[in-house]
Amino acid sequence: MNTNSLADHGVIGALRQTFSHDMKADLARLRVGLTSAAEKTGLLDVSYRTVDSPVGRLLLAATPTGLVRVAFACEDHDDVLASLAETISPRIMLASARFDDVCRQIDEYFQRRRNRFEVQLDLQLVKGFRRTVLGHLVDIPYGQTVSYAELARLSGNAAAVRAAASACSHNPLPVIVPCHRIVRSDGSIGKYLGGVEAKHLLLAMERGS
């Protein structure tokens, strides 16, 4: 075999690797620059990123007002983004740096070093009684649970148990707004948007078990 060919092949391979690395870095810088420019000119209505967690990869989406959506992988992140484009704005862009503080708080939560999130929220996806319910969810203490019936009572309508349950099942900000702390009156865990296993994990983690 021609040694010159081997040398040439090695040089070409190295150049390709360098080019690939530089191109990825350039694209990353370009994305950051475009995102920054879009934010400054008011052209970015929804930014998003994903973050890994013990309950799977989470999609985080935010508007200039605050965090507007947290979605589990089972919801299909592409479908969620398409829905946000339809209900809020099609001007959506990946903007990882925008979520550094939220991701830090999520990491601290799963490491049992945080029991309350300090995040600006945008509740525009929630209306009426459901919005009232979400306002009471954030007041349920870390590591504790209440029933759907009790949640309905706290929300001002003791007879609206099904409506309170529906508000939990349609919570656009799970984990951050802790609908996983709501259980059935008989003590059984009930359903959860992220799956029953995820709900079990969150409750067990908060209880320290």
Positions marked active-site: 179
The dihedral region occupied by 191, where left means phi > 0, alpha psi between -120 and 50, and beta the remainder, is beta
How far apart CA 61 and CA 2 sit, in angstroms, is 55
State how far the Cα of 202 lies from the Cα of 208, in Å rounded to an integer: 10
Dihedral-angle region of residue 201 (phi above 0 means left; psi in -120 to 50 means alpha; beta otherwise): alpha
Strands (E), 44-173: 46-51, 58-62, 67-71, 92-94, 146-147
Give dist(CA 174, CA 96) in Å, integer. 20
